[in-house]
Amino acid sequence: MSENNKSTYTPARAKSQKKYLTKNFDDIKIRVPKGKREYYKQAAENAGESLNSFAIRAMEYLIEFEKLNDKK
């Protein structure tokens, strides 16, 4: 990427990004025992994912797993 095309922070860009995130996403904050954040982060990296994507995939998997087991 050339020097002229690098992203730069501007207040307008920050405002636009905040508006987009607020409109399109919900925030979820979770608390984990001390030391577990790094453990989860490493597991996500090993899977080639961000911690956020990894957590969402794990939650979706568990929800589907429980749905299948509830039908028995």
Band (8; pLDDT cuts 50, 70, 90): confident
> What's the mean pLDDT in 49-59?
97
**What are the domain boundaries of the chain?**
39-72
Residue 37: Cβ within 10 Å count? 13
Q: What is the pLDDT of residues 15-39, one digit of tens each?
A: 999 999 999 999 999 999 999 999 9
**Where is pLDDT greater, at 1 or 36?**
36
Band (1; pLDDT cuts 50, 70, 90): very low
Give dist(CA 7, CA 72) in Å, integer.
53
For residues 34 and 42, the answer to whether their CB atoms sit within 8 Å is no
pLDDT at 70: 87
For residues 47 and 54, the answer to whether their CB atoms sit within 8 Å is yes
